[in-house]
Amino acid sequence: MSRSNPASFLIKSVDFTVSGISEPLYVMYVRGEEALSEPFWFELQVQNLDQNIMTPDQVVGKAATITFNYEVAGSAKQRYVNAIVGEFSFLYTEIAGNSARWNTYRFRLIPECVYKLGYNQYCKIYLKNTADNGQTTPNTTALDAISQVFQDYGYSNVTKNITNPSQYELRDFCVQYNESALNFVSRLLEQEGIFYYFQHTQSQCTLVMQNNNTQHDTCPDTLQYVIDAAAGIANPSVHALTLHQTTVPYQHQVQDFNFQTPDEALTANTTPSSGTAGSGNQFLWYEGPAGYQISDSGSGRAKARLNHIQAITSVVRGQSYYPGLLPGYFVQLADHPMQSLQGKFLLTRVRHELNTNWRRDAGGADTVPAEYKATFESIPSTLTYSPPRTALVPRIYGTQTAILINVQPDVFGRVQVCFTSWDPINKQTDASTSCWVRPMQAISGKGWGSHVIPRLTNGSESAPTQEVVVTFINGNPDYPIITGMVYNGKNPVPYKQNTAQNIIMGIKTNASSDGTRYHEARLDDTAKNELFYMKAQNQWTMDIFGNGTWNVNKDTAGGNNNLGDFTWTIANNATTTISGTLTEDVKKTKTVTIEGDETYTNKGNRTLTVNGNTTNETDGNETATVKGNYANTTSGNYTLTVDGNLTIKAQSITLEAQQNVTVNGMQVNLKGSTALSATAAQT
């Protein structure tokens, strides 16, 4: 409800309306504060004349408008504050002379963005997931995530005064973790050096995001400096004007690391321009890790931090009765004897105090003028403002577990997981909602090291259950890394242990949906029956480029006296290829049993040395074919026993003995086809 002021004051009246409340609301006082990159607030104490007392459900969450009606040089002007009722208090009631009630209330107004974003705490991974030939591509920026937040919560009154938006780093993803949507948005803006402020109309409040000093509007009236505050009541003026400046670091340096480009030095620094605060000293403000992955982003981060330091150390403060001061606007100051306190300045903070001195009488009119005062802070218009980092930065200290949802790793071995304990959006069967996470390895090098990539248990489950252990570098939710895997109620251990002993360990893979196909290396430490078991499901290839030794030794541990045996069992064929020499040394007996045929091919010479006896026994026929000469030399006797016939065929046969040659038979026939002769030295 409006109340008039004498003509000598700039402020003429103040109106306050709340959506859905038709009864006039009489303002008793207004307190408020507005600042760059801070949600504004206004607190009012009001009265109304009504038999019924307002209740919180009538006003909390409703749109409300404050209208400061003022006059400059005879021209009527309005300054609006459009907001949402965030808090409401009923204070007291009084009976009026006409039996109606004068009810007194306190309202606290907040921006619509605070109402919609500030009371929603959530956990979510913001990303645009793509992959190209196994190479994941970062393609979401802080502004993308912020736009998505606004869309998710139905907040659309936003203007982006952003120059060169492509300067902001493309991220793999960014995480909102146990924080309000407002804190998440503020944190991202602070990281990138983007500030915000609000523009008001009678029916709307618009949030303006900005990263430059070239798109600010200017307050319509120039403030003239006056020494005597009372002299400036009726005109746009400023008094109690002060300049505050302090020492700041000369340069700001940031550093970080990107695993995809490990040889790139991600160090950036920036220095103030000559003549600005801090120029000329050698102070360095260093920060690492600064939360970026490419060099250009580092330069932007360093510049944003330096902008903030300069903004808070070159501050002009003042007081005014002028109600048209708004953060995010330039104000023109004039007539100060100090040159540095004249010119254009960017308003960074404005505090409002208004007392209407409301005194009700039978007519319900004011009896004492309203008193308004604004206290402001500003910086030179040549500086670009960057916000301080006041938003809470979430940290995840220690480890968490997650569920693996994608078996296909990218070129860096990264896999996708679902943080089932805190990510309600992520679907365990939808890889497009998940971030990529590197698994830690025991050792790693350039093309060498261990390679153990977590993978799904099998493909037959409706929802994956493979659980991995995740930690976060520096506690930052944006930098997870898999450090191990664990068993759970769906994925039991591969070996059933005796609860009194932990004697079996090993590695067992899974190559089939039913778990029947796998590789395995198992160590069983059962006392006096220790076992090292290895299994290859299909093929086993072993390459040795030096010497290889297999020893099956005697077991003497714990008083044992067991000789070790070695058994090869091959279900199908076996092929042995030796490029050099094969030597076999058998201390005892060697037995070879061949149930099928045997073929022996020797392309060179063959020497067989037997120190004892040799026995050849053939159940069937035996044929020996010698394509060259055949010589058989026996140091002792030679006996040839043939149960059937003996046939010797040759071109020529010579029987030669140093003593006698005896031919015995039932009948001996000698026949020569041409001639037969016999000679001897004696007859």
DSSP structural state of residue 261: S
* Tokens linked to 293: 């992955």
pLDDT tens for each residue of 41-77 = 999 999 998 888 899 999 999 999 999 999 999 899 9
pLDDT at 617: 85
What mean pLDDT do residues 513-523 have?
87
Instruction: Give the separation between CA 221 and CA 223, rounded to whole angstroms.
Output: 6
The model carries a pTM of: 0.83
Residue type present at position 471? T
What would the two tokens of residue 279 be?
């120029």
Does the pLDDT at position 516 exceed 70? yes
d(C-alpha 244, C-alpha 327), whole Å: 19
Q: Which domains does the chain have, with CATH numbers?
A: 395-491 (2.40.50.230), 493-538 (no CATH)
Per-residue tokens: 576:
């042995």
pLDDT tens digits for range 191-215? 999 999 999 999 999 999 999 999 9
User: Is pLDDT larger for residue 216 or for residue 418?
Assistant: 216
Share of the chain above pLDDT 70, in %: 90
b vs e for 177-190, b when ≥16 Cβ sit within 10 Å of the residue's Cβ? bebbbbbbbbbbbb
The pLDDT of 108-134, averaged and rounded, is 85
Q: Nearest Cα to 292, choosing from 176, 436, 141?
A: 141
How far is C-alpha 489 from the chain's CA centre?
A: 27
Counting beta carbons within 10 angstroms of the beta carbon of residue 342, is it exposed (0 to 12), middle (13 to 18) or buried (19 or more)? middle
Length of the chain: 683
What pLDDT was estimated at residue 79? 97
459 has pLDDT over 60: no
Per-residue pLDDT, averaged over 648-665, amounts to 82
pLDDT (0 to 100) of residue 529 = 84
**Which of 474, 565, 458, 450 is CA-nearest to residue 509?**
458
Residues 350-392 have pLDDT tens digits of 999 999 877 565 344 444 567 899 999 999 999 999 999 999 9
Tokens representing 224? 């003239």
Question: How confident is the model over 263-306, as pLDDT tens digits?
Answer: 998 999 887 765 555 556 678 889 999 888 888 888 888 888 88
